[in-house]
Structure formats: structure tokens, C-alpha cells
Amino acid sequence: MTPVATTTPRLDQEIHFDTDILRQSNGFTTDDYGGSKGFELIPAEHLQVNVNPPPYLAHDELEVPDGFGDFSFLVKYRLVARNEKSGNYVMTVFLAGSPPTSSAPSSASLFRSPVKRRAAEAVFGTMRSKYQFSRILWP
């Protein structure tokens, strides 16, 4: 089973499609069909590659045109995994990207959404705080 709001460290092979309704602070909504999810493939024993076609974004705000968002990808490499008898852990590294392949309004609208902006700030803020905290503990 795949988590809704995060990426699992496990390697999964599946086709994934999400639909989101993003409510903005100005009262308008953006419907996201595809959710930047797509094909999750395992081409080798420790490797997963996700190829995500652009989502279609429909806005109820008349000034913002509807259209496709950006293409994205994710590569996972499992470094090590152990079952419950041997410690019950998994360590995976991720590399993700989203080249700007859409028109500017559709691409920019993803980050105008307060929901996705707050989620991105939470992730990057957490990464930044972990880095700063580790600098204190590690020489």
C-alpha cells in the first residue's frame, strides 16, 4: 500500500493516479487530475524508477487558464533492508526532479496553492532543521 502524502522507502511496482482538489486562500479551487503520479517500475533488484506524466490542472478562477502541469520523475535506490528477525529496517536514497515542461500558468499554479506550498515548506524546513541540528552534533 502506498502512502497518500509521502513516498515510501519500499520499492513498489504499480500504476498510481491521484485526484486532488486544492482549496486556495482566496476561495478558488484547482482540480489536479493525475497528481504527478504515474508508472512506478522496478528495472533492477535495488532500483525503482517513477515516470510521472504531467497532471491536468483545472482552475475555477477565470484569469488562470487550465492546462497540463510539469512532467516529473523519481529514482529510488535501496541501499539495505532487513526483515523483522534481522532488525526490521530499510534505507533508501531518492532523487527526484520536475523539469518545467508546461506553460507558465499551469506550472506556477502548483506552488500558488497554499496546501502544496505549505507541504513543500514543511519538507524543506524539516530538511533544513535536520541539517542545522546535525551540524551542532557532528563536527
pLDDT tens-digit readout, 51-93: 989 888 888 888 888 888 888 888 999 999 998 899 888 899 9
Torsion (CA) 14, 10, 132, 98 in degrees, nearest 10: -20
Residue 42 has pLDDT above 70, yes or no: yes
Q: The whole model's pTM is what?
A: 0.65
Whole-angstrom Cα distance, residue 139 to residue 136?
A: 7
Residue 44 has pLDDT above 90, yes or no: yes
Written as one letter, the residue type at 7 is: T
> The C-alpha cell of 76 is what?
529510488
Residue boundaries of the structural domains of the chain: 14-137
Whole-angstrom Cα distance, residue 107 to residue 54?
A: 10
Average pLDDT for 4-18: 78
Whole-angstrom Cα distance, residue 37 to residue 2?
A: 11
Residues in Cβ contact with 100 at an 8 Å cutoff, skipping those fewer than 6 apart: 70, 107
Other residues' Cβ atoms within 10 Å of the Cβ of residue 45: 7
β-pairing, 29-34 vs 47-52, is: unpaired
Residues in Cβ contact with 25 at an 8 Å cutoff, skipping those fewer than 6 apart: 114
Residue 130 has pLDDT above 50, yes or no: no
Helices (H), the chain: 104-112, 114-137
pLDDT score for 132: 46
Q: Are 49 and 73 in contact (CB under 8 A)?
A: yes
> The C-alpha cell of 53 is what?
506524466
